[in-house]
Amino acid sequence: MIILVLNCGSSSAKYQVYDWEAKDVLAVGVVEKVTFPGSWIEHKPKGKAEFTLKQDCPTHTDAVDLIIKTLMDKEHGVLSDMSLIKAVGHRVLHGGDKFTKSVIVDDNALEVFEKVKDLGPLHNPANIQGIIAAKKVLPNVPQCAIMDTAWHQTMSPESFLYALPYEWYEKYSVRRYGFHGTSFLYVAKRAAVLLGKDPLKTNLIICHIGNGSSMCCVKDGCSFDTTMGLTPLEGLIMGTRSGDADCAIPFYVMRKTGLSAADMEQALNKKSGLLGITGKYQDRRDISNAADEGDQRAQLAQEMEGYRVRKYIGAYFAALGGKCDALIFTAGVGEFSNLMRKKFTQGLDAIGMTLDDEKNDMAHTRNAEFLISTGNSKIPIYVIPTDEELVMTEDAYALMKGTYDVHTKFTYSFQSKDYVNKARAEGLKKDLAKNPDLKKIIALPR
């Protein structure tokens, strides 16, 4: 039985193919520059050479069709028959306040997604197009929407409401929704395993730091607060997003420059953040190289990003009343940048979080979970590689079988102490061959 997972962005379509019986990933890939000339597919099948093909995909339907053809290809494919695909899981950024968990997509769900797409104008239209495209290519297969906002539906009004006219919430659903939900769910459940605790009695501060970044305050195993808001723009400094800023700034600059509302939305989402500070870079590696060469704005960007994360860690530590079981880093930067993890934790000794520099410098792979705090740190600091695709896969399978429920009433495979990600386990063998000392920092269940 095969589960296909699709994550359709505005100009891309990422995918993963999962063999449910073997509990193994058969292929991953992405179609880039969808809707633009010169698009191509990058396909990575298990046990075969990586494959790249240039082919124009003017629509997401064309992209999904190219994915299916590639999966069925005699030389590069991993499937012998399309009928093997029993469910498709789709990442959907925003469901407003209508969805508290993953759902099988029917006409009503699609109608709701259309109604709330203005809440996620950069993501939701592409998510919807991906679903429609998959329904055309695989008409008899259940299409499952895995909601990025669902994890955060446990927030209470004091966390999710803004101090704005209350009728905006009543009429237009203006509130904090939060995102990166599948990532936070996976990491929170894995953290509970490592801590040896009941997942619903675990308090955590999770930092999902990538090009898009957010943090989650987890209280008793549920989302209590998060940094992103109505849209993914609020909160941390990101690759091109501003994060927190004075609400009056857009109006001030619009009056000064004549920028339209659309221009300002583009500037805050696409021209701000690390790119806005440095004027050149949004990738942390480029920023790090420039900072090492003396670029003062690159150095400033690093310090600003580090400070913003530390400030939220302190705020969430207070929100938990000091009862925090672990601090966790995940996603691209959180998993790979020892430099930024050091900046994120600078001075946190005062609240019981002490980074071990040597352990931190070693933690540089997605193939294992690491404990990077010192032995006397009151609160452990972990690096837990996220696996959003696995959450989507298991949700889609459970929806198809009729066994799915909200995460507080549902158990995932990765909540077991014996859980093994086969692909990562193979990768770890290679990592350990290169650096046997990695074994010293691998986190094991307590």
Active site residues: 148
Sign of the torsion angle spanned by Cα atoms 232, 238, 239, 245 = positive
> Tokens for 366?
């997605």
CB atoms closer than 10 angstroms to residue 61: 18
Indicate the pairing of strand 326-330 with strand 204-209: parallel
> Strand ranges (DSSP E) for 281-350?
326-330
Task: List phi, psi (to 5°) of 33.
Answer: 60, 40
Residue located via tokens 């069925």: 72
Element (H, E) at 103: strand 103-104
Check if the beta carbon of residue 43 is closer than 8 Å to that of residue 52.
yes
Residue 257 exposed, middle or buried by CB count within 10 Å (0-12, 13-18, 19+): exposed
Structural tokens at position 8: 């359709």
What residues are paired with 165 via a beta bridge? none
Cα–Cα distance between 432 and 358 in angstroms, integer?
A: 17
